[in-house]
Protein backbone atom coordinates (compact mmCIF):
# COMPACT_ATOMS: atom_id res chain seq x y z
CA UNK A 1 0.00 0.00 0.00
CA UNK A 2 1.34 3.35 -1.02
CA UNK A 3 -0.05 5.29 1.93
CA UNK A 4 1.87 3.14 4.40
CA UNK A 5 5.21 3.92 2.87
CA UNK A 6 4.57 7.67 3.04
CA UNK A 7 4.27 7.50 6.82
CA UNK A 8 7.44 5.39 7.08
CA UNK A 9 9.50 7.71 4.90
CA UNK A 10 8.26 10.81 6.70
CA UNK A 11 9.09 9.20 10.00
CA UNK A 12 12.66 8.44 8.99
CA UNK A 13 13.07 11.96 7.61
CA UNK A 14 11.94 13.42 10.94
CA UNK A 15 14.64 11.39 12.64
CA UNK A 16 17.25 12.53 10.13
CA UNK A 17 16.18 16.09 10.80
CA UNK A 18 16.53 15.65 14.57
CA UNK A 19 19.98 14.16 14.03
CA UNK A 20 21.02 17.07 11.86
CA UNK A 21 19.72 19.58 14.39
CA UNK A 22 21.61 18.11 17.29
CA UNK A 23 24.78 17.90 15.17
CA UNK A 24 24.46 21.60 14.38
CA UNK A 25 24.05 22.37 18.05
CA UNK A 26 27.25 20.49 18.78
CA UNK A 27 25.75 17.55 20.64
CA UNK A 28 27.23 14.13 20.10
CA UNK A 29 24.07 12.39 21.22
CA UNK A 30 20.99 12.81 19.09
CA UNK A 31 18.36 14.89 20.80
CA UNK A 32 15.23 12.79 20.48
CA UNK A 33 12.94 14.89 22.66
CA UNK A 34 11.69 16.76 19.58
CA UNK A 35 10.73 13.50 17.91
CA UNK A 36 9.09 12.32 21.09
CA UNK A 37 7.09 15.54 21.29
CA UNK A 38 5.87 15.20 17.71
CA UNK A 39 4.67 11.73 18.62
CA UNK A 40 2.98 13.08 21.73
CA UNK A 41 1.01 15.69 19.80
CA UNK A 42 -0.01 13.17 17.16
CA UNK A 43 -1.07 10.61 19.75
CA UNK A 44 -3.08 13.18 21.66
CA UNK A 45 -5.03 14.22 18.61
CA UNK A 46 -5.54 10.81 17.10
CA UNK A 47 -7.05 9.53 20.33
CA UNK A 48 -10.01 11.87 20.12
CA UNK A 49 -10.92 10.37 16.76
CA UNK A 50 -10.22 6.74 17.58
CA UNK A 51 -12.32 6.62 20.72
CA UNK A 52 -15.27 8.36 19.15
CA UNK A 53 -17.28 5.23 18.51
CA UNK A 54 -16.15 3.45 21.64
CA UNK A 55 -18.04 2.89 24.86
CA UNK A 56 -16.47 4.37 27.95
CA UNK A 57 -13.43 2.48 29.23
CA UNK A 58 -13.96 0.53 32.42
CA UNK A 59 -10.52 0.93 33.91
CA UNK A 60 -6.85 1.33 33.14
CA UNK A 61 -6.39 -2.23 31.90
CA UNK A 62 -9.28 -1.77 29.51
CA UNK A 63 -7.55 1.30 28.15
CA UNK A 64 -4.28 -0.59 27.69
CA UNK A 65 -6.09 -3.31 25.80
CA UNK A 66 -7.44 -0.64 23.52
CA UNK A 67 -3.90 0.64 22.93
CA UNK A 68 -2.72 -2.89 22.13
CA UNK A 69 -5.48 -3.71 19.70
CA UNK A 70 -7.22 -0.82 17.97
CA UNK A 71 -4.68 1.93 18.45
CA UNK A 72 -1.82 -0.28 17.27
CA UNK A 73 -3.76 -1.67 14.34
CA UNK A 74 -4.62 1.82 13.22
CA UNK A 75 -1.00 2.94 13.15
CA UNK A 76 1.12 -0.19 12.66
CA UNK A 77 -1.36 -2.50 10.89
CA UNK A 78 -0.95 -5.22 13.48
CA UNK A 79 -1.73 -5.87 17.12
CA UNK A 80 0.68 -5.93 20.02
CA UNK A 81 1.90 -9.50 20.49
CA UNK A 82 2.16 -9.55 24.24
CA UNK A 83 0.83 -7.38 27.06
CA UNK A 84 2.09 -7.85 30.58
CA UNK A 85 1.34 -5.93 33.74
CA UNK A 86 2.07 -6.09 37.45
CA UNK A 87 -1.36 -4.52 38.21
CA UNK A 88 0.41 -1.63 39.91
CA UNK A 89 0.78 0.71 37.01
CA UNK A 90 3.56 -0.93 35.02
CA UNK A 91 2.68 -2.33 31.61
CA UNK A 92 4.98 -3.98 29.11
CA UNK A 93 3.88 -4.10 25.50
CA UNK A 94 5.85 -6.38 23.24
CA UNK A 95 5.79 -6.14 19.47
CA UNK A 96 7.68 -8.97 17.78
CA UNK A 97 7.88 -7.29 14.41
CA UNK A 98 7.91 -3.57 15.00
CA UNK A 99 7.14 -1.82 11.75
CA UNK A 100 9.94 0.76 11.80
CA UNK A 101 12.55 -1.91 12.50
CA UNK A 102 11.48 -4.71 10.16
CA UNK A 103 13.18 -3.09 7.19
CA UNK A 104 16.61 -3.04 8.83
CA UNK A 105 17.81 -6.45 9.89
CA UNK A 106 16.98 -9.56 11.80
CA UNK A 107 20.01 -9.55 14.02
CA UNK A 108 22.28 -7.22 15.91
CA UNK A 109 23.40 -5.14 12.98
CA UNK A 110 22.28 -1.49 13.31
CA UNK A 111 21.22 -2.19 16.89
CA UNK A 112 22.81 1.08 18.01
CA UNK A 113 20.44 3.05 15.79
CA UNK A 114 17.32 1.33 17.04
CA UNK A 115 16.54 3.78 19.89
CA UNK A 116 16.09 6.61 17.39
CA UNK A 117 13.33 4.73 15.68
CA UNK A 118 11.27 4.02 18.76
CA UNK A 119 11.23 7.55 20.26
CA UNK A 120 8.32 8.67 18.11
CA UNK A 121 6.25 5.69 19.15
CA UNK A 122 6.98 6.30 22.82
CA UNK A 123 5.59 9.80 22.41
CA UNK A 124 2.62 8.46 20.51
CA UNK A 125 1.66 6.13 23.34
CA UNK A 126 2.26 8.80 25.96
CA UNK A 127 0.13 11.35 24.11
CA UNK A 128 -2.68 8.91 23.58
CA UNK A 129 -2.75 8.00 27.25
CA UNK A 130 -2.47 11.63 28.32
CA UNK A 131 -5.65 12.46 26.44
CA UNK A 132 -7.36 9.60 28.25
CA UNK A 133 -6.28 11.19 31.55
CA UNK A 134 -3.49 8.73 32.28
CA UNK A 135 -0.15 10.40 32.92
CA UNK A 136 2.69 8.07 32.15
CA UNK A 137 6.35 7.66 31.31
CA UNK A 138 6.99 5.47 28.29
CA UNK A 139 10.36 3.94 27.52
CA UNK A 140 11.37 1.39 24.93
CA UNK A 141 13.84 -1.44 24.83
CA UNK A 142 15.23 -3.25 21.80
CA UNK A 143 17.23 -6.42 22.31
CA UNK A 144 17.04 -8.25 19.01
CA UNK A 145 16.14 -6.38 15.96
CA UNK A 146 12.60 -6.46 14.78
CA UNK A 147 11.14 -7.00 18.24
CA UNK A 148 10.63 -4.16 20.63
CA UNK A 149 9.30 -3.74 24.16
CA UNK A 150 7.53 -0.63 25.43
CA UNK A 151 7.45 -0.05 29.16
CA UNK A 152 4.59 2.13 30.33
CA UNK A 153 4.91 3.50 33.83
CA UNK A 154 1.72 5.12 35.00
CA UNK A 155 2.26 8.11 37.28
CA UNK A 156 -0.31 8.18 40.01
CA UNK A 157 -1.09 11.36 41.86
CA UNK A 158 -1.52 10.32 45.46
CA UNK B 1 -34.86 24.05 19.20
CA UNK B 2 -31.50 24.02 20.83
CA UNK B 3 -30.61 27.23 22.54
CA UNK B 4 -26.96 26.68 23.11
CA UNK B 5 -24.20 24.11 23.04
CA UNK B 6 -20.99 24.06 25.03
CA UNK B 7 -17.71 22.18 25.01
CA UNK B 8 -16.15 21.86 28.46
CA UNK B 9 -12.58 20.69 28.94
CA UNK B 10 -11.10 18.10 31.27
CA UNK B 11 -10.68 20.64 34.08
CA UNK B 12 -14.19 22.09 33.68
CA UNK B 13 -12.99 25.15 31.87
CA UNK B 14 -15.19 26.15 28.97
CA UNK B 15 -13.54 25.61 25.60
CA UNK B 16 -16.45 26.81 23.56
CA UNK B 17 -19.90 28.13 24.32
CA UNK B 18 -22.04 28.93 21.36
CA UNK B 19 -25.65 29.62 20.87
CA UNK B 20 -28.18 31.34 18.83
CA UNK B 21 -30.58 33.91 20.07
CA UNK B 22 -32.22 37.12 19.19
CA UNK B 23 -29.22 39.08 20.30
CA UNK B 24 -25.68 38.47 21.45
CA UNK B 25 -25.86 40.78 24.43
CA UNK B 26 -23.81 40.24 27.53
CA UNK B 27 -26.90 39.27 29.43
CA UNK B 28 -27.62 36.43 27.06
CA UNK B 29 -24.03 35.24 27.23
CA UNK B 30 -24.12 35.21 31.02
CA UNK B 31 -27.31 33.20 31.21
CA UNK B 32 -25.81 30.65 28.79
CA UNK B 33 -22.72 30.26 30.94
CA UNK B 34 -24.88 29.89 34.02
CA UNK B 35 -27.13 27.27 32.39
CA UNK B 36 -24.20 25.18 31.24
CA UNK B 37 -22.44 25.32 34.57
CA UNK B 38 -25.48 24.26 36.57
CA UNK B 39 -25.39 21.04 34.60
CA UNK B 40 -21.79 20.23 35.42
CA UNK B 41 -22.52 18.98 38.93
CA UNK B 42 -25.18 16.63 37.65
CA UNK B 43 -22.75 15.48 34.98
CA UNK B 44 -19.99 14.69 37.45
CA UNK B 45 -22.46 12.84 39.60
CA UNK B 46 -23.49 10.59 36.74
CA UNK B 47 -19.87 9.83 35.97
CA UNK B 48 -19.10 9.02 39.60
CA UNK B 49 -21.98 6.57 39.86
CA UNK B 50 -20.98 4.90 36.62
CA UNK B 51 -17.45 4.25 37.87
CA UNK B 52 -18.59 2.98 41.27
CA UNK B 53 -21.02 0.58 39.65
CA UNK B 54 -18.26 -0.70 37.46
CA UNK B 55 -16.04 -1.18 40.48
CA UNK B 56 -18.46 -3.61 42.09
CA UNK B 57 -20.09 -4.97 39.00
CA UNK B 58 -22.31 -7.31 40.98
CA UNK B 59 -25.13 -4.88 41.62
CA UNK B 60 -25.93 -3.67 38.17
CA UNK B 61 -28.85 -1.33 38.48
CA UNK B 62 -31.65 -0.67 36.08
CA UNK B 63 -29.88 2.41 34.80
CA UNK B 64 -29.31 3.02 31.15
CA UNK B 65 -26.02 1.79 29.80
CA UNK B 66 -23.53 3.83 31.78
CA UNK B 67 -20.73 3.05 29.40
CA UNK B 68 -22.61 4.98 26.78
CA UNK B 69 -21.05 8.33 26.00
CA UNK B 70 -24.44 9.98 25.87
CA UNK B 71 -25.73 10.68 29.36
CA UNK B 72 -29.22 11.86 28.56
CA UNK B 73 -31.21 14.56 30.29
CA UNK B 74 -29.18 15.96 33.14
CA UNK B 75 -31.18 18.76 34.51
CA UNK B 76 -34.32 20.64 33.67
CA UNK B 77 -35.56 24.00 34.80
CA UNK B 78 -38.79 25.81 34.09
CA UNK B 79 -37.47 27.17 30.86
CA UNK B 80 -34.65 24.88 29.77
CA UNK B 81 -33.60 21.27 29.47
CA UNK B 82 -29.95 20.35 29.62
CA UNK B 83 -28.48 17.25 28.00
CA UNK B 84 -24.96 15.92 28.52
CA UNK B 85 -22.38 13.83 26.70
CA UNK B 86 -18.91 12.92 27.94
CA UNK B 87 -16.26 11.59 25.58
CA UNK B 88 -13.66 9.01 26.47
CA UNK B 89 -11.17 11.83 26.74
CA UNK B 90 -13.30 13.53 29.44
CA UNK B 91 -14.44 16.35 27.23
CA UNK B 92 -17.94 17.31 28.24
CA UNK B 93 -20.46 18.35 25.63
CA UNK B 94 -23.59 20.08 26.85
CA UNK B 95 -26.71 20.92 24.86
CA UNK B 96 -29.44 23.19 26.17
CA UNK B 97 -32.92 23.24 24.71
CA UNK B 98 -35.73 25.58 25.50
CA UNK B 99 -38.74 23.82 26.97
CA UNK B 100 -41.03 26.77 26.45
CA UNK B 101 -40.89 26.92 22.67
CA UNK B 102 -43.20 24.42 20.93
CA UNK B 103 -40.42 22.71 18.96
CA UNK B 104 -38.23 22.30 22.03
CA UNK B 105 -40.74 20.94 24.51
CA UNK B 106 -41.33 17.66 22.72
CA UNK B 107 -37.86 17.03 21.41
CA UNK B 108 -36.96 13.36 21.10
CA UNK B 109 -34.06 11.78 22.90
CA UNK B 110 -32.72 10.27 19.69
CA UNK B 111 -32.50 13.68 18.08
CA UNK B 112 -30.43 15.05 20.92
CA UNK B 113 -28.20 12.00 20.75
CA UNK B 114 -27.48 12.49 17.05
CA UNK B 115 -26.90 16.20 17.55
CA UNK B 116 -24.35 15.55 20.29
CA UNK B 117 -22.68 12.83 18.24
CA UNK B 118 -22.28 15.25 15.39
CA UNK B 119 -20.95 17.88 17.76
CA UNK B 120 -18.39 15.34 18.94
CA UNK B 121 -17.34 14.72 15.35
CA UNK B 122 -16.98 18.46 14.77
CA UNK B 123 -14.94 18.79 17.95
CA UNK B 124 -12.62 15.96 16.91
CA UNK B 125 -12.02 17.73 13.62
CA UNK B 126 -11.39 21.06 15.31
CA UNK B 127 -8.87 19.52 17.68
CA UNK B 128 -6.89 18.12 14.75
CA UNK B 129 -5.97 21.64 13.71
CA UNK B 130 -2.20 21.68 14.24
CA UNK B 131 -2.32 25.24 15.56
CA UNK B 132 -4.73 24.31 18.30
CA UNK B 133 -3.08 23.49 21.60
CA UNK B 134 -4.88 21.05 23.91
CA UNK B 135 -6.77 22.90 26.64
CA UNK B 136 -7.08 26.14 24.71
CA UNK B 137 -10.37 27.71 23.83
CA UNK B 138 -11.63 26.85 20.38
CA UNK B 139 -11.48 29.99 18.32
CA UNK B 140 -11.92 28.37 14.91
CA UNK B 141 -14.43 30.29 12.80
CA UNK B 142 -15.17 27.18 10.78
CA UNK B 143 -16.07 25.22 13.91
CA UNK B 144 -18.31 28.07 15.05
CA UNK B 145 -20.11 28.13 11.72
CA UNK B 146 -20.60 24.38 11.65
CA UNK B 147 -21.96 24.33 15.19
CA UNK B 148 -24.38 27.14 14.42
CA UNK B 149 -25.72 25.29 11.40
CA UNK B 150 -25.98 22.14 13.52
CA UNK B 151 -28.12 23.97 16.04
CA UNK B 152 -30.35 25.44 13.37
CA UNK B 153 -30.87 22.37 11.23
CA UNK B 154 -30.76 19.34 13.37
CA UNK B 155 -32.59 20.08 16.56
CATH number at residue A97: 3.30.1380.20
Which H or E element spans position B94?
Answer: strand B92-98
Of B129, B27, B145, B86, nearest to A132 (Cα)?
B86
Of B41, B7, B34, nearest to B135 (Cα)?
B7
Spell out which residues of chain B touch residue A54, defining contact as CB-CB under 8 Å.
88
Beta-strand relationship, A82-85 and A90-95: antiparallel
The answer to whether position A20 is within a domain reads: no
Cβ atoms of B85 and B71 within 8 Å: the answer is yes
The answer to whether position A136 is within a domain reads: yes
Domain that residue A55 falls in: 34-154
Predicted local confidence at residue A143, as pLDDT: 86
B67–chain A nearest CA distance, Å? 5
Predicted local confidence at residue A153, as pLDDT: 93
Could B67 and A58 be called an inter-chain contact, meaning their C-beta atoms sit closer than 8 Å?
A: yes
The answer to whether position A29 is within a domain reads: no
CB-CB neighbours of B42 under 10 Å: 15
Could A52 and B121 be called an inter-chain contact, meaning their C-beta atoms sit closer than 8 Å?
A: yes
The answer to whether position A7 is within a domain reads: no
Spell out which residues of chain B touch residue A131, defining contact as CB-CB under 8 Å.
89, 134
Cβ atoms of B151 and B112 within 8 Å: the answer is no
* Residue A43 reports pLDDT greater than 70: yes
CB-CB neighbours of B20 under 10 Å: 14
The answer to whether position A5 is within a domain reads: no
Pick from A36-40, A112-116, B25-29, B74-78: least confident? B25-29
B6/A105: higher pLDDT:
B6
Predicted local confidence at residue B18, as pLDDT: 78
The answer to whether position A52 is within a domain reads: yes
- What's the rounded Cα separation, in Å, for the pair B54 and B66? 9
Chain B within 8 Å of A131 (Cβ-Cβ)? yes
Predicted local confidence at residue B72, as pLDDT: 81
Average predicted confidence (pLDDT) for chain A: 88
Pick from A85-89, A99-103, B93-97, B98-102: least confident? B98-102
Predicted-complex ipTM score: 0.81
Predicted local confidence at residue B27, as pLDDT: 66
- What's the rounded Cα separation, in Å, for the pair A33 and A37? 6
Region for A17 from its dihedrals, namely left if φ exceeds 0, alpha if ψ lies in -120 to 50, beta otherwise: alpha
Nearest CA in chain B to A48: B124
- What's the rounded Cα separation, in Å, for the pair A74 and A134? 20
Cβ atoms of A153 and A140 within 8 Å: the answer is no
Predicted confidence band of residue B103 (pLDDT cuts 50, 70, 90): low
Predicted local confidence at residue A29, as pLDDT: 75
B28/A129: higher pLDDT:
A129
Based on its alpha-carbon atoms, the radius of gyration of chain A, rounded to whole angstroms, reads 16
Spell out which residues of chain A touch residue B130, defining contact as CB-CB under 8 Å.
41
Query: What are the residues whose beta carbons fall under 8 Å from the beta carbon of A2, sequence distance 6 or more?
Result: none
Predicted local confidence at residue B60, as pLDDT: 41
Mean pLDDT for A2-28 is 86
Count of the separate structural domains present in chain A: 1
B19/A1: higher pLDDT:
B19
Three-state DSSP state, A135: coil
The answer to whether position A134 is within a domain reads: yes
The answer to whether position A119 is within a domain reads: yes
Amino acid sequence: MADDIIFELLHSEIINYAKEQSKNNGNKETDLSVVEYIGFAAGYKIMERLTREWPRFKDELDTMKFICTDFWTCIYKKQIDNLRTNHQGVYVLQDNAFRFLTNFSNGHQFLEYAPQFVAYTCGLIRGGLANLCINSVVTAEVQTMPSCKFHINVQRTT
Amino acid sequence: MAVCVAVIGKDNSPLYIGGIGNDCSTDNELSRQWLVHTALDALEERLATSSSINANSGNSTAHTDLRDLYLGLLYSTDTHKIYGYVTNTRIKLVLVTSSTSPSGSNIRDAEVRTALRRLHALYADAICNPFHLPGDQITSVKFDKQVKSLILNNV
